[in-house]
Each structure stands twice: as structure tokens, then as C-alpha cells.
Amino acid sequence: MPTVTIFPIDVTTTTPRLSQTVNYTGSGAALFRALSNTWATDDPAIVVSFAVEQSFDGGTNWQTMCPTTWTPQSFAKDGGLPALQCTAGDVLGSRLLRGNLSASATISVGVTATV
């Protein structure tokens, strides 16, 4: 499965950033992981909100599929930056996915997707 950067590392604020879309077949897992060069020293009081959104009509309408929050200086079990893995519980098949990224205070962060 290819890994693509859906959000390059960039200034992120309370204003949501919406990513490019990726195709998802509706089965198996889609993995999203934070990107940052300063995560280990960023303020842990900042809350980074990331949600995977899905669309069944080619991108006209979007709904939240998997929401989560990440905080600087917290890491994944494998030692990497925090991740979110999302697996559809429905049987509605193929859809588009995109990311919705924001933060409670200004921080430089991005996200990759492996779908």
C-alpha cells in the first residue's frame, strides 16, 4: 500500500486544513500518521485534532469516519509519531477519504496516509 503525504508539514491553527482525497475500498485499514520536525519539543498542552472524513458521492458531501486527537510529546507504541488507523464498520464499499486537521494553538504539523 502506498504512503502519501496528505498534509505537508505546515502551520496549523484552529482553522481546519482539508487534505487532498484518497480512494478507499471500504475494507481493510487506512493508516494516518502525524508528520512533524518538532513534535518532541512542541507544547504538550496543544491539542491537534485530526479526523478522517468520508464521501460516498464523489466529494460533494462529507461525514466524519474516524476522529482523534494527538498531543505533542506523545508517541505511538512503535516509537513513531502518533497515528490513527481507521477501518470501516459498514458494508457500503468504495468511498473517498480526506483528512481534516486543526490545532488548539499554532503548531507545525502534517499527516501521511497509507491506504
Residue 54 binds to other proteins (criterion: CB under 8 A): yes
Among 71, 96, 104, 108, binds other proteins (CB under 8 A): 71
Question: Near other proteins by CB under 8 A, which window of 3-11, 14-22, 65-73, 99-107?
Answer: 65-73
What cell numbers appear for 71 in the block?
498531543
Residue 90 as a binder of other proteins (CB under 8 A): the answer is yes
Provide the residue count of the chain. 115
Q: Does 102 bind other proteins (CB under 8 A)?
A: no
Cα separations in angstroms, 38 against 10, 56, 72, 92? 12, 36, 9, 39
CA atoms of 104 and 108, how far apart (whole Å)? 12
Tell me how far, at minimum, the Cβ of 93 lies from other proteins, in Å.
Answer: 11
